[in-house]
Amino acid sequence: MKNRMKNRCALFSVLAASALVLTACSGNGESGSQEGATEDVESAESVTWRLGHSYGVESLENRAAERLAASIEEASDGQYTIEVFPSSQLGSWEEMQEGLELGSVDIVIESIGSLERYTDLAGIEGVPFLYEDAEDYFRTWDSELGQEMILAIKEDSGFYLAGQMYRGPRVLNSTMPISTLADAEGLKIRVPNQETYIRTWQALGASPTPLSFNEVFSALEQGAIEAQENPVNVARFNSFYEVAPYIAYTNHLYGSNHFQVWAETYDGWDEETRNLFDESVAEVSEWARETSIKEQDENVAFLEENGVTFSEVDREKWVEATSEVVEDADPQVQAWIKQIREG
C-alpha cells in the first residue's frame, strides 16, 4: 500500500475547524429578546466550499456539481454555498486533489482510479474487462462489497469518495479507425497517470502516454497522441470528437465519478453537516445515474451527426491480451476481483 497521505497535514485540522459552523448562535444566554436573536442569526458564519473538476461546462459532471450546489444551498437556507470551477480552472485533477489536503479546494469530482497514486487499492477501478455490462457493475458497487472497497480506500489514502455518478463504459476514441489488436499496436494513447491503466494498454500493444486531462485536446490536434479513452460523453462534451473522429466500443472499463473530499475534514464535520452533505450527494448520484443512462444514446447520435464513426472489437481477444494485468494486481485487489467475478 502506498498510504502516502496519513499524518501529513497537521494544519488541516485548523483549516477544517473554521468551516464547521452550520447553525446560528443562540445569544449570550442573558437576553431572550427578539432583537438579540435576530442579531445572532445575522452574524452566523456562512461557509463556502470550492468544488473543482476537469470536465466541460455542459458535461454531466458539471451539471451534477451545479445540482449539488443548489441542493446544499437550499437545504441549509443559504448557510452553505458551493462555488463550482469546471474545465480545470483550479488546476489539473492531481493538483486539485492536493488542494483537498491543504484546504485550498473542498470537493473534487474524479474517479476511484485517480487515487491510485495514493493507494494501490484504487487500482480496482482500472482492472480491464471486469464487468460484463452496466448491470454487472451496479450489482457490485451497490452492494456491501462496494461499500467495503470505498471505506478501505478511504482508510489507506486519506480521501473519502462520496456518492457514485455513473459515467458509462470507457471506449477508445482515436484519430484513426481501430477495431483489432493489430490496429492498436504502437498506438500513442493518452492515459491518466495510473499504473493499472498504463499496464492495460501496454498489454494491448499500444504505447500509453500519461498526460494531464486538460492537455488532451491540443495533444490530439497536434498529433502528439493518436487516441484517448473515456466514456462517450467525454468525447462529446470535451470536444475530442473534433480532432479524433473514431470510437471503438472497447467497453474495457465501467466506472463512476465521486465527490472526493479529504477524509479528516469529512469526519470532523458535525453530524448535521455530514447529513446535509450526504443527503444532497445521494440525490445527485441517483439523478446522475439516470441521466447518464438516458443520455448515452443521445451522445452517440450527436457524435454520429458530427462525423464520428463507431466500430466494435473482438472482446474475447482483448480480454485475453490483458489477463496479465489482473495477475499483477495488489493482493487485496485480486481478492476483490475474485469476489466480483463470483458474484
pLDDT in tens, 60-80: 999 999 999 999 999 999 999
The secondary structure of residue 24, as a DSSP letter, is -
Q: Which helix (H) or strand (E) holds 46?
A: none
Cβ atoms of 46 and 81 within 8 Å: the answer is yes
Q: How far apart are the first and last CA of the chain?
A: 26
The proportion of the chain whose per-residue pLDDT surpasses 90, expressed as a percent, equals 86
Q: Is the pLDDT of residue 35 over 90?
A: no
Average pLDDT (194-208) is 97
Tens-digit pLDDT profile for residues 97-145: 999 999 999 999 999 999 999 999 999 999 999 999 999 999 999 999 9
Q: Is the pLDDT of residue 43 over 90?
A: no
The proportion of the chain whose per-residue pLDDT surpasses 70, expressed as a percent, equals 87
Q: Average pLDDT of the chain?
A: 90
Q: Around Cβ 248, how many Cβ atoms within 10 Å?
A: 24
Average pLDDT (32-60) is 70
Q: Give the bridge partners for 210, in sequence order.
A: 191
> Which residues fall within 8 angstroms of residue 173, CB to CB, at 6 or more apart?
227, 228, 229, 230, 235, 240, 241, 244, 246, 247
What pLDDT, on the 0 to 100 scale, is given for residue 45? 86
How confident is residue 343, by pLDDT bands cut at 50, 70 and 90?
confident
HSE-CB of 87 using CA atoms within 13 angstroms: 7
* φ and ψ at residue 238, rounded to 5 degrees: -105, 10
| Residues in the chain, overall count | 343
Q: Is the pLDDT of residue 6 over 80?
A: no
For each of the domains in the chain, give its residue range(s) and CATH number, in order of start.
12-342 (3.40.190.170)
Q: Give the bridge partners for 255, in sequence order.
A: 168
Q: In whole angstroms, what is the distance from residue 210 CA to residue 117 CA?
A: 13
Query: 3-class DSSP state for residue 198?
Result: helix
Q: Is the pLDDT of residue 22 over 60?
A: no
> Residue 298 is placed in which grid cell?
443521445
Tens-digit pLDDT profile for residues 178-193: 999 999 999 999 999 9
**pTM of the prediction?**
0.85
Beta strand extents in 272-325 (DSSP E only): 309-312
- Can you say whether the dihedral through the CA atoms of 160, 165, 168, 170 is positive or negative? negative
